[in-house]
């Protein structure tokens, strides 16, 4: 593999699943004709069939290790090698219970493989780049030129600047055009939060605290942490504002635009309450909207307040995607924001009303185009960084978002899937996440180590960066910055001829 200019801190290491079994795509059925001869165990190189030493029966097939129908062209395939034709292969009904239209089972499986190996899957039977939603990113494809300029992978840069205002504030550059979304202390477990920050440091990019305070355990990663000021102002102190390079105002969240947050009393444990400077056990409401902001002028006052407190930090403004998102973006630019972060309606959340997730505000694909074009028309596009989030699931989504006009993206769900989230959606119910990712339950929050999680994230970021570099090479580009707004490099299944 040709090395590109990724940070020297990035080290790829295989980091297998913490579970004994993976979710199988295929199912091998062994009929009564089996004579336990053990031929299948000898022939299968993937370890689907086993006959342990001294046993005279073959174990039931380990389905998840099977590579499926593509194996049938190989001479070692168990189906053809079995002398009694006792084996058959089918799709596993279990696979249908994994994933959904947006995050298909193939996409989840593919992301797991990336987090394990650091590279995109070698298997050819997984459609892991595109989902099954039937719209937006899932209808866009790349148009690669036949004879692109020759570019060596080592020459390709994936870095972007986040401060484009030339205002004397910190010249922040991230090495890959992706950073981690805000997930608050309390909404995810501590190993999740710390590994996100650690990985951000390894990749020379950022992660975000979400609304819920700045745990001291994140201090080693201060230069890679964005601290969030949201409507409840929970955990916001002068000291936390001064500690970081980027401060993010969260006006709204794509998954629940126009609605406030609500931390249930039982989740407001002693440590959470301390962090949020609230009373333990009380339900905490984050109102909507900021009760101090009803106009762009008020908004400017907000930004000035932060800039006064921290004279070098950049200010990011996170908004969701209403009809007038373009106006809001231009207003934020004039108010002094460095980063306009738009969060689309199909984005992730630890808890949101289903009715909001499905129906309120537009998908990110439209909003990027709208905002990019409006900022361009206003002559402001080169002076702000446009970051897209809310439905960026794969490296292909990232590239498509940049082609539509974003400079980079924020991801959340993809990070959690790397930590083996199955998107069951029970982050907030009962004891919380049964897989230990989004739970503060004493038993569940201890299901994996920070080391394991950090490496899984680093691997996944690497796989994305690897895909990004490959795509840039196919376009003959030396920098991801050349890609911004290049809709001519995309085609749409319905409209393009």
Q: Which is nearer to another protein, 152 or 297 (CB)?
A: 297
Tell which one of 106, 116, 211, 365 touches another protein (CB under 8 A).
365
Give the interface segment with another protein, choosing from 171-179, 192-200, 293-301, 375-383 (CB under 8 A).
293-301
Residue numbers 43-82 binding another protein by CB under 8 A: 59-60, 62-63
Give the interface segment with another protein, choosing from 161-169, 172-180, 208-216, 343-351 (CB under 8 A).
343-351
Q: How far apart are CA 130 and CA 493, in angstroms?
A: 13
Q: What are phi and psi of 312, to 5 degrees?
A: -115, -15
- Give 269-322 as a 3 state SS string: CHHHHHHHCCCCCCCEEECCCCCCCCCHHHHHHHHHHHHHHCCCCEEEEEECCC
Q: Is residue 293 involved in binding another protein (CB under 8 A)?
A: yes
Give the contact letters, 467-496, x = binds to another protein (CB under 8 A), - = no. Answer: --------------------x--xxx-xxx
Tell which one of 426, 474, 482, 486 touches another protein (CB under 8 A).
426
Residue numbers 76-135 binding another protein by CB under 8 A: 93-94, 96-98, 100-103, 133-135
Shortest Å distance, C-beta 321 to another protein: 8
Give the contact letters, 439-468, x = binds to another protein (CB under 8 A), - = no. Answer: -----x------------------------
Tell which one of 66, 172, 174, 356 touches another protein (CB under 8 A).
356
Q: How far apart are CA 29 and CA 14, in angstroms?
A: 31
Tell which one of 285, 309, 311, 382 touches another protein (CB under 8 A).
285
Q: How far apart are CA 257 and CA 288, in angstroms?
A: 9
The CA-CA-CA angle for residues 406, 229, 269, to 5°, reads 125
Q: How far apart are CA 341 and CA 304, in angstroms?
A: 18
Residue numbers 175-234 binding another protein by CB under 8 A: none
Tell which one of 106, 116, 138, 326 touches another protein (CB under 8 A).
138
Tell which one of 378, 434, 482, 486 touches another protein (CB under 8 A).
434
Tell which residue, 496, 497, 468, 495, has the closest CA to residue 483.
Answer: 468
Q: List Cα–Cα distances, 53 to 20, 50, 58, 59, 63, in angstroms.
A: 21, 9, 10, 11, 21
């Amino acid at each position: 593999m040709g090395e590109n200019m990724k940070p020297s801190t990035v080290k790829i290491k295989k980091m297998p699943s913490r579970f004994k079994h993976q979710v199988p795509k295929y199912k091998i059925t062994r009929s009564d004709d089996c004579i336990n001869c053990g031929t299948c165990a000898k022939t299968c190189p993937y370890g689907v069939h086993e006959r342990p030493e001294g046993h005279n029966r073959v174990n039931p097939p380990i389905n998840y290790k099977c590579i499926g129908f593509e194996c049938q062209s190989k001479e070692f395939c168990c189906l053809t090698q079995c002398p009694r034709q006792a084996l058959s292969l089918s799709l596993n009904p279990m696979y249908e219970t994994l994933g959904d239209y947006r995050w298909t089972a193939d996409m989840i499986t593919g992301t797991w493989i990336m987090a394990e190996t650091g590279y995109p899957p070698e298997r050819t039977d997984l459609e892991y780049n595109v989902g099954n939603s039937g719209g937006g990113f899932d209808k866009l494809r790349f148009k690669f030129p036949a004879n692109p300029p020759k570019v060596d992978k080592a020459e390709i840069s994936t870095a972007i600047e986040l401060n484009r205002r030339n205002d004397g504030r910190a010249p922040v550059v991230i090495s890959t055009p992706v950073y981690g979304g805000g997930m608050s202390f309390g909404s995810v477990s501590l190993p999740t939060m710390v590994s996100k920050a650690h990985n951000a440091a390894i990749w020379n990019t950022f992660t975000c605290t979400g609304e819920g305070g700045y745990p001291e355990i994140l201090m080693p990663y201060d230069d890679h942490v964005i601290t969030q000021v949201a409507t409840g102002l929970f955990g916001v102190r002068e000291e936390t504002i001064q500690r970081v390079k980027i401060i993010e105002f969260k006006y709204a969240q794509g998954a629940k635009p126009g609605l406030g947050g609500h931390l249930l009393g039982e989740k407001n444990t002693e440590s959470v309450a301390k962090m949020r400077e609230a009373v333990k056990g009380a339900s905490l409401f984050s109102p909507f909207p900021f009760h101090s902001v009803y106009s762009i002028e008020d908004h400017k006052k907000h930004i000035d307040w932060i800039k006064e407190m921290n004279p070098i930090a950049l200010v990011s403004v996170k908004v969701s995607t209403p009809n007038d998102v373009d106006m809001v973006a231009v207003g934020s630019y004039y108010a002094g924001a460095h980063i306009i972060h738009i969060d689309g309606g199909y984005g992730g959340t630890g808890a949101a009303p289903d009715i909001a997730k499905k129906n309120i505000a537009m998908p990110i694909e439209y909003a990027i185009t709208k905002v990019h074009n409006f900022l361009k028309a206003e002559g402001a596009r080169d002076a702000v960084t446009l970051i897209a989030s809310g439905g960026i699931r794969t490296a292909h989504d990232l590239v498509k978002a940049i082609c539509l006009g974003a400079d980079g993206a924020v991801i959340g769900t993809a990070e959690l899937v790397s930590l083996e989230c199955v998107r069951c959606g029970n982050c907030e119910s009962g004891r919380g996440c049964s897989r230990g990712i989004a739970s503060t339950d004493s038993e569940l929050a201890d299901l994996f180590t920070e080391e394991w999680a950090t490496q899984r994230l680093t691997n996944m970021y690497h796989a994305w960066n690897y895909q990004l570099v490959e795509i840039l090479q196919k376009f003959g580009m030396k920098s991801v910055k050349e890609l911004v707004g290049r809709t001519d490099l995309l085609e749409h299944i319905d409209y393009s001829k």
